[in-house]
Structure 1
Amino acid sequence: MTQETGNRWRPVIAALANPDVRVAFGLLLGGGDLTGYLDAKSPSRRAHIVRVLTASGAVRAEGGVLALEPTVFADILADVSRRKATGIGRFLVNGRITQYPASLRERDDLLRWVAERVLEHGETVSEPVLTGRLRVLADDTALLRRYLVDAGFVDRSRDGAAYTLNEKGAQSLSA
């Protein structure tokens, strides 16, 4: 398979999106009657199924017999584990903040990302509402709320009861 590293999964998933190819692959996996299944198809459909399976890299043809490519899934998983997160993704696991950047620019990027997800332009919310929205993104909501205010993305009312996306935060939404 000559797929670009990190994209080896695409032809496999594309192949499995086709119902006929998916059945053929399942029969191959489960040791079912693949030959009987293919023989019941028209010659052009049979050729298409074989072509898609082999092009995916998950199956190879050996002497006219289809066989599973034993390393394809391990190779795909290895590609995924080698990819490094970039940008704010370095600070997230499953969409949740696991650490804060030391760099102020990166921290601003992360906080901008948070502000875009928790507040709409012109919206004012109470502290409990904002806390609930932040809880989806981080465990320490008080710290994140403080960072948003200190970085200038969110304004807090004097009594601390209401929060609003300010001009800096609103500009990030339109940028």
Structure 2
Amino acid sequence: MNANAWRALVSTLADDRCRAVYARLVLGEPADTELSSLSPGAARRVITALTASGLVRRDGDVLSADPDVFARALDAAPAPARPTGTDRFFEGGRLAVYPAREADRRAVLLRIADQVAAPDDRLDERTVNDRVTAVTDDVAAMRRYLIDAGLLTRTADGRTYTRAGDGALTPPCAP
């Protein structure tokens, strides 16, 4: 079976007539009733589609559902690529898991800092919060992590934030 075998399975089962015949066969029942309700040409096309897709085996005039067809299709399909680097901590652009390892935390915080502020930005707290909200629900904690890591600095009055250098990471608590 090839990696796209699942397409033939899905397209065959999308046809009501094929699905009805296949259902009978899966249940161990003869499909004669379903097939006899079709014209001879339509019945031939249904049988051809079911056998060509691998859903059904034909032994002379006897049709039977192939119980291993889906396992073979799954085995042939490529496994989805696993995210690497900081991508493994994000889903849909949002932080899904806060890393336990310091090196991973550092990389994640750098990524978030890059999304929050450019080196020359001077941002008010609302803008910082809006940008952090795009990444995580725990805005206050993430803002604190970025400051503690030396990636964001805040004025004494707390009104203005700027992107700092790549300061030393002080390990923050997980959100």
TM range (shorter): 0.5 to 0.7
Query: Which residue does the alignment assign to 2:37?
Result: 40
Query: Which residue does the alignment assign to 2:16?
Result: 19
Alignment of 1:140-151 (within 5 A): 142-143=141-142
Alignment of 1:129-140 (within 5 A): 131=133, 134-135=136-137
Structure 2 stretches of 5 or more lacking a match?
117-125, 162-175
CA distance in 2, matches of 1:43, 1:98: 58
* CA deviation vs aligned residue, 1:58-90 (integer Å, no higher than 9, x gap): 21111121111121122233345x614155697
Letter in 2 for 1:76: A
Change (3 A) 1:35 1:93: farther
Query: Which residue does the alignment assign to 1:3?
Result: 2
State whether residues 59 and 67 of structure 1, in contact with CA within 8 Å, keep that contact through their aligned partners in structure 2: yes
CA distance in 2, matches of 1:85, 1:144: 31
Alignment of 1:42-121 (within 5 A): 42-80=39-77, 83-85=79-81, 91=88, 97-98=96-97
State whether residues 9 and 53 of structure 2, in contact with CA within 8 Å, keep that contact through their aligned partners in structure 1: yes
Equivalent position SS for 2:57: strand
CA distance in 1, matches of 2:63, 2:140: 54
TM-score of the superposed pair, with normalisation by structure 1:
0.53
Structure 1 stretches of 5 or more lacking a match?
116-123, 163-175
The share of aligned pairs that are identical, in percent, is 25
Equivalent position SS for 1:134: coil
CA distance in 1, matches of 2:143, 2:84: 15
CA distance in 1, matches of 2:46, 2:59: 16
Equivalent position SS for 1:61: strand
CA distance in 1, matches of 2:22, 2:90: 33
Equivalent position SS for 1:32: coil
State whether residues 36 and 43 of structure 2, in contact with CA within 8 Å, keep that contact through their aligned partners in structure 1: yes
- From the CA coordinates, give the structure whose radius of gyration is larger: 2
- Root mean square deviation of aligned Cα: 4.7
Q: Which has the higher contact order (CA 8 A, sep 6+)?
A: 2
Greater per-residue helix proportion? 1
